[in-house]
Structure 1
């Protein structure tokens, strides 16, 4: 290692990051440790923000002045599993072929992380007057909560950034809005009895069915309400039940039934509306029917994941900056959730913009094109030039 730091090309950095198996179910500390050594070699200050268990951590680094807010380049370090997928080559060994770089996380989203890290020497050489912050999070693929503890420090222990760019793969289109993703498990607790004498029990399965039908009704209403902005596909808030399980036998009144459900809400949707409506129906209709023969049962709904939507902020610092850096003249929406809403909720103007296509994410033989990778590097070099002259 030279006294000037460990110098890696963007592709070398990507190969290094891909080599760490950071499946969301596993620790990311080996990757974070490598990044800390790398940043230390360049004299770049950072903080590590561990999770409660201590087996994962986020990292927040600042290149340039430490006393002011700058532009955050935000990426996650976790990846989805390769289990059951048929890969042509080792998913944790970057393979370059046919103008593409293949590997788990290559596009989602270690390419963005690798570019930000590999260009640190160039950021330093630019003598930035507006700092560039690098944020690496965990658990984005499961809960989007791995960024929260660090964001809470911004504006308190750390300067509040002027803008955040979340580098999910958008083909470097500038995304200013996406839906929320909110997930729940509802469990109906009934009371077992012989099905020939239903008045001796309370059917969890049949009550759960009523609740699912109510979610269907709410979903239909959301479809009719539509999307006033006309920007989303599909153009409405969606409500979906994905898993249901309950009961033990056809001739037993079921004791328990649980179903997993979600809604993906337009940014304008009050996130409390749908769960509040289901809770009202549960209390006023379903629970009364469940307990019509006696005080046998109860219904509970547990919130599991709440990824906030990203609402458009026309003319925001982040939007104007990213459009200029990406050479775009209008913003887009995406159908998937990101960490961007958490930054926005903290008062930081935020957009989503990163190299590569989401269509390659989570796939076997995941890849980013070298053309998009190089375009991402050019985007960050333009950012450095902007932050050196502002």
Structure 2
């Protein structure tokens, strides 16, 4: 059986596991673990605190620093609000494309690495190959953060990591971080005709949004002169403002969902400190003048480090040699790459498929892209042997 045929077979199996972030991924992880154990890999299940999800970390070769890590997230986004032409969890091949939820984001890469595992097992020598399949990337990269903590505790640092997000096999050396928050406002309900006797949570939320908009403008002026990103400054987006029950009731609760994508260290702290000062010095005292139980609380949903381009990057050099690509690019979307970079690992993002297909109905991965990925991974096997 060719590597492509084997990869398609494995990918069909992976797609059949509906590993939506809100559910578990244990069956998928068990399946991948069996394939790697059959190749002689040492396999470790790192169970999430919830008990229904896990990371898989597996090693072929010696357990030493400096190995090559192939990483992908096992979770996928929901399909419940989408109109698919076929069952999203039953992979369909049509017109040179493989359709199914997760084909490009990013079970295609995982399937390719699993298909290549027997080759690596036969060729690996002094430099190990690691496989990392994580949980909950789509909702905050929680699995990768958990895995990074475990690797730190074990004192194990891969030398190189290839994160197989869909980049159309382009080498990506940088992207912004992503910080997601919900700010909660607790006020005092009352009749709309007596506004001074209540604490209007929606109004305070609106003022908070006004402060965010002010900070957005200040961040533009703080952009590093050599920032490679587009746009070159840290961005903030207010995604939702919720609150209230009726137009004649003073709302007692409101909340804002917002995100920030920092381009440099310090920007996230600057924004949070400015918002905290605004709340402590202006908003909360005014709320307390009516009701001492009123208040504002910032909830951190996720804070994920960006991938910072570096002059010396062994991962970029290796993948350039494997693919023949010259140079590297930046992307707007976030990945788990910065989490591994923070360990001291050289990292690039490179995988089959287009981000344009991710998260959509009728998601697909072209066979051409999958073959390009397999060619890269086959050449990696030859490198291990050499």
Q: Give the TM-score taking structure 2 as reference length.
A: 0.93
- 2:351 corresponds in structure 1 to 354
- 2:324 corresponds in structure 1 to 327
Task: Give the root-mean-square deviation of aligned CA atoms.
Answer: 1.9
- 2:10 corresponds in structure 1 to 13
- 1:3 corresponds in structure 2 to none
Equivalent-residue separation in structure 1 for 2:208 and 2:15 (angstroms): 43
Show CA shifts across 1:232-284 (max 9, x none): 23332211111112233333333222111111121445332211111111111
Q: Check the 8 A contact 2:76/2:138 in 1, yes or no.
A: yes
Equivalent-residue separation in structure 2 for 1:216 and 1:295 (angstroms): 28
Equivalent-residue separation in structure 2 for 1:158 and 1:94 (angstroms): 39
- 1:4 corresponds in structure 2 to none
Task: Within 5 Å, give how 1:113-152 maps onto structure 2.
Answer: 113-152=110-149
Local SS of the residue matching 2:338: helix
Local SS of the residue matching 1:141: coil
- 2:297 corresponds in structure 1 to 300
- 1:65 corresponds in structure 2 to 62
- Seen in structure 2, the aligned counterparts of structure 1 residues 95 and 229 have a Cα distance that, compared at 3 Å, is farther
Q: Give the TM-score taking structure 1 as reference length.
A: 0.93
- 2:237 corresponds in structure 1 to 240
Task: After superposing the two structures, state which structure 1 stretch, 141-150 or 199-208, moved more.
Answer: 199-208
- 1:91 corresponds in structure 2 to 88
Task: After superposing the two structures, state which structure 1 stretch, 331-340 or 60-69, moved more.
Answer: 60-69
Of residues 340, 347, 363, the one that matches 1:343 is 340
Q: Structure 2 regions of 5+ residues with no counterpart?
A: none
Local SS of the residue matching 1:117: helix
Larger proportion of helix:
2
- Seen in structure 2, the aligned counterparts of structure 1 residues 361 and 329 have a Cα distance that, compared at 3 Å, is same
- The 4+ residue runs of structure 1 with deviation greater than 4 A are none
- Seen in structure 2, the aligned counterparts of structure 1 residues 267 and 172 have a Cα distance that, compared at 3 Å, is farther
Q: What count of residue pairs does the alignment treat as equivalent?
A: 383
Show CA shifts across 1:281-324 (max 9, x none): 11112223333446352111111111111111222222222222
Deviation at 1:62, TM superposition (A): 0.9
Of residues 51, 69, 74, the one that matches 2:71 is 74
- 1:199 corresponds in structure 2 to 196
Task: After superposing the two structures, state which structure 1 stretch, 75-84 or 246-255, moved more.
Answer: 246-255
Equivalent-residue separation in structure 1 for 2:154 and 2:116 (angstroms): 26
